Amino acid sequence: MMSRLHKPALLGGLALLAGCAAPNPNLCPGAAILADTDHATMLRPGAPADPSGELYRVALTNAATDCHLDKKRGETDSSLTLTFTAQRAPGADGATYSVPYFVAVTMGQRVVNKRLYTARFTFAPGASTVVFTVAPDNTQIHLGNGHLPWDYQLTAGLQLTPAQIAYNQKMGRYAP
């Protein structure tokens, strides 16, 4: 017969075992947006690199993660949901655009893995703002020896060209 003192320990242990493969955001790798790549301005072809040449602006505004932890295999299967906001000058016509972005698995300053994606979005006729979300492919992270899920981070950002980086520096929050 089990004593009353052992029941709480047994129930607690069963709860931990039951949670091995259950989603638990507290056990997941973190989600972050790389600050210098959180926004971009797309210019009209042949237009000047100033506000008069802007076609639209897009910003990565939120990143959220969830995962399933498989303790036996030492892996997490992490999902990521990214929210973007795009803005343009008011126009009568609708328009569809795409923007390249990346998701990197990082551990401290080290990039473990990086994948590129493209998000497509549409401005409705007359709309000047659109908010959209994407969920890139799940990321499997094999936990290195002695590392825990929260030692890793899923870092997202817009995949910028050198010209876009220069424009952000010239026009953005980092301008002199």
Compute the distance between CA of residue 5 and CA of residue 40 in angstroms, rounded to an integer: 60
Residue 5: both structure tokens together = 């003192």
Residue-wise pLDDT tens digits, 7-51: 343 333 333 333 344 445 567 899 999 988 999 999 888 888 888
Cβ contact 31:152 at 8 Å: no
Who's near 138: CB < 8 A, 6+ residues apart? 77, 78, 79
User: Domain ranges in the chain?
Assistant: 21-171
Cβ contact 80:156 at 8 Å: yes
Residue-wise pLDDT tens digits, 135-171: 999 989 988 888 888 899 999 999 999 988 888 888 7
Say which CATH class 21-171 falls into.
Answer: mainly beta
Identify the three-state secondary structure at position 52: helix
> Global pTM?
0.79
